[in-house]
């Protein structure tokens, strides 16, 4: 059976600037279309955010905005329904940029056995200058404060299934509109102990200073990548990690 990879991008009304810049960066970085079965832009609320035409699929998940968490839940449910054992999905937020050949690298790396997912962005787990490699990170982070940042994550179908079948997301959605990253690891905690972090980061968080929920004055951590290589870095130059 051939392994299939699907991409899902989460966005909402009012994010036109971020979304179109992200899509341009995605294509310009090198889009291996022959290795991607489908890319779906998933819109929370008004789908006019993608007016103007795009070669990718567009899905309006709800008529009225449901918020970040319920939208992420809907995307994971969609990915579960569209996937099969052995498949995988790439989840992207709409405010990132990609280094050259980022997607090709992500597809090559995948998700190591026993890890819940692989993240290609980090804002707090690794010090700047951390040696290149794949690192296992506790689900709740090295500092115990949780996994922060769903900017660019690969999930195997088995993890998507675990999240989809967990009662935790729906319970959390009763009191939260956001914090999908924190809810994700809470839902997976019964089945996984760690996730995989790829160093260097393959995406930069261009929306790092644009957040309606981030309490900037309460966190010593900024929301940009800890180890992103600027200046035309090519992910194809990275060695094979074991």
Q: What single string gives the DSSP state of each residue in 6-42?
A: EEEEEEETT-HHHHHHHHHHHHHTT--GGG-SEEEEE
Quick: pLDDT tens for 104-148: 999 999 999 999 999 999 999 999 999 999 999 999 999 998 899
Q: Which residues of 113-149 are buried (b: 16+ CB within 10 A; e: fewer)?
A: eebbbbbbbbbbbbeeeeeeebbebbbbeeeeebbbb
High-pLDDT (> 90) share of the chain, %: 78
pLDDT of 216 over the 50 cut:
no
Q: Name the CATH architecture for the domain at 5-237.
A: Alpha-Beta Complex (3.90)
Rama region for 144: left / alpha / beta (φ>0; ψ in -120 to 50; rest)? left
The Cβ of residue 24 has, within 10 Å, a number of other Cβ atoms equal to 12
Averaged over 68-81, what is the pLDDT?
Answer: 97
Q: Which residues of 205-225 are buried (b: 16+ CB within 10 A; e: fewer)?
A: bbbbeeeeebeeeeeeeebeb
High-pLDDT (> 70) share of the chain, %: 93
Please report the pLDDT score of residue 218 as a whole number: 56
Please report the pLDDT score of residue 49 as a whole number: 83
Higher per-residue confidence, 69 vs 178: 69
Under a CB-based contact definition with an 8 Å cutoff, are residues 120 and 202 in contact?
Answer: yes
Alpha helices in the chain (DSSP H): 16-28, 68-82, 102-109, 157-165, 168-173, 180-188
Quick: pLDDT tens for 87-114: 999 999 999 999 999 999 999 999 999 9
Averaged over 223-234, what is the pLDDT?
Answer: 91
The sign of the torsion formed by the CA atoms of 173, 177, 179, 180 equals positive
Look over the chain and give the mean of its residue pLDDT values, rounded to a whole number.
91
């Amino acid at each position: 059976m051939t392994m299939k990879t699907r991409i899902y991008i989460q966005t909402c009304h009012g994010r036109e600037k971020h979304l179109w810049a992200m899509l341009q960066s995605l294509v310009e970085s090198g889009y291996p279309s022959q290795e991607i079965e489908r890319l779906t832009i998933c819109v929370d609320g008004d789908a006019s955010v993608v007016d103007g035409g795009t070669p990718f699929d567009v899905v309006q998940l709800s008529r009225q905005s449901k918020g970040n968490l319920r939208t992420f839940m809907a995307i994971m449910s969609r990915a579960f329904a569209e996937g099969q054992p052995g498949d995988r999905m790439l989840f992207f937020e709409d405010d990132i940029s990609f280094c050259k050949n980022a997607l090709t690298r992500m597809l090559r790396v995948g998700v190591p056995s026993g890890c819940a997912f692989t993240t290609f962005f980090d804002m707090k787990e690794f010090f700047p200058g951390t040696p290149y490699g794949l690192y296992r990170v506790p689900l709740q982070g090295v500092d115990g404060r949780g996994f922060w940042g769903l900017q660019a994550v690969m999930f195997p179908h088995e993890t998507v299934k675990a999240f989809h079948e967990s009662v935790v997301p729906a319970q959390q959605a009763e009191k939260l509109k956001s914090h999908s990253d924190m809810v994700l690891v809470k839902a997976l905690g019964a089945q996984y102990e760690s996730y995989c972090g790829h160093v260097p980061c393959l995406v930069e968080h261009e929306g790092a200073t644009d957040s309606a929920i981030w309490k900037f004055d309460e966190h010593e951590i900024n929301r940009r990548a800890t180890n992103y290589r600027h200046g035309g870095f090519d992910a194809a130059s990275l060695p094979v990690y074991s």
